[in-house]
Every structure is written in structure tokens, then in C-alpha cells.
Amino acid sequence: MQKMIGKMAKMYPLMIAMGFMIVIIAFGIGYANSQNAAAYFSIPKLERETTMMVQRAAIESVGLWMPTFKFLGIGLILGGIVMALRIIIDRLKGAGEEVLSNLPAEKRLKLPDPPRYATMMPMVIMLGEMIFIAALGIGIWLSGIARMVFSNPLPVIDAAGSGSALLNGIQTIHAVEGWLVPLKFFGIATEFLAITMGLATIIFILGSQTNMLGRILNPEKN
């Protein structure tokens, strides 16, 4: 399993490139949306709110799925960084084993097992990516609701009464937004935790290998 993860980690440049592409695409769509908004708000209020529903629906829906899409891009880049750290960990372990292989078998010490958080790192990174994908799914779902709501003239939306589909739609959008923003940051926190674990593992390996060399040189201290 760990070997397979190590092989997969070599794909980290692809992951970083994908993440960067997503952020660039998001910038392009964001720019197009800003032009759409500029055109919409250049029209007098009464006219734009009663006749330009398609533009309004597009502006509102893009504003709902776009942030989650950008966070997915950032998440992939952070995931790529974690995978690169995993490669450093594997190479460090390999180098340690190679150095030890130069010693006679009776003097050779066993390399210490990696700490538990090192084995948890791939799970944490996967959890982070799942959070970003779930957030994007929820963002797309919300943008569908926004399209349904804002395809109506604004006076009709404002007049929506209790129990109406329009008011329920607005309620869903605002209620979900309340926790969707922190959820994206939770995804970022999960990726950062994986990076912290990776760095801690590198520091552990460096320290333990140096300690081991010291024990080989000073066997009386073993």
C-alpha cells in the first residue's frame, strides 16, 4: 500500500499543473462574469431588474460555484506539495538505507519505523480533496437554484410569499452559504495539516538517521 502511494506521489507535477490550470480558468470565467456584471449594472435599475433576468441569473450562479472551483484548484496545488514531500520522505529513507548498507551486517542497526502521522498523511490529503470536491458539488447545486430564482424579475422575487419555491430557493442559498465558506477553509486546513505531517516526518527521519549514525560511531552509548 505504502509503495503504491509512493508511486502515485510521483505524479505531483501533474496535480500542481491541474490545480494551476483550474485557478487560471477560474480567473478567465471571473473576468467574463465581471464584464457581464458591468453590462448589467450599466442599465437603469427598473429596466435591468425586469428584462435582463438571463444576465442576472448568470452573474448570481457563477458567483456561487466559482469560489468552490478556485478552492479545488488551490487544494490540488496543496495536494501536489504534500505528494512532493512524500517523495522527499521516500528518498531520505532510501538514502539512509543505502548508507547503512555500507556497514557490516553485525554493525547495522534497524531504521526506526516512521511515526504514525506519516502513514496517516495520504488519508488526510484525500480527505482534504474530498472536501473540495464536495464543496464544488454543493456550489454547482446552489448555482442551479440561483438560476431558477433569478430567472424571475426582481419584483416577483421580492413579492415571494411564505412557502413559495422562490423564497425557499433564496433561503437555501443563504443558509448553505453560511457553512459552505467555512467548509472550504476546513478543506484548506486539512491540506495544511498533511503538509505539517509531511514536514514533521522529514524532520523525524533526518533526526533519527543522525542519531543512528551517532550510535554506530559510539556503540557504548547504545
Binding positions for other proteins, rule: CB under 8 A: 99, 101-104, 107, 157-163, 167, 170-171, 174-176, 178-183, 185-186, 188-189, 192-193, 195-196, 199-200, 202-203, 206-207, 209-211, 213-214, 216-218
Please give the single-letter amino acid code of residue 121.
Answer: M
Residue 28 vs 178, nearer CB to other proteins? 178
Residue 42 vs 218, nearer CB to other proteins? 218
Closest-CA residue to 73 (of 120, 31, 135): 135
Give least dist CB 191 to other proteins, A: 9
Alpha helices in the chain (DSSP H): 2-9, 12-41, 45-51, 53-100, 116-150, 154-158, 165-217
Give least dist CB 167 to other proteins, A: 6
Query: In this structure, what C-alpha cell is assigned to residue 221?
Result: 552509548
Give least dist CB 37 to other proteins, A: 21
Give least dist CB 91 to other proteins, A: 14
DSSP state of 132: H
Residue 42 vs 48, nearer CB to other proteins? 48
Closest-CA residue to 81 (of 133, 5, 19): 19
Give least dist CB 178 to other proteins, A: 3
Query: In this structure, what C-alpha cell is assigned to residue 189?
Result: 486546513
Cα–Cα dist 77/134, whole Å:
17
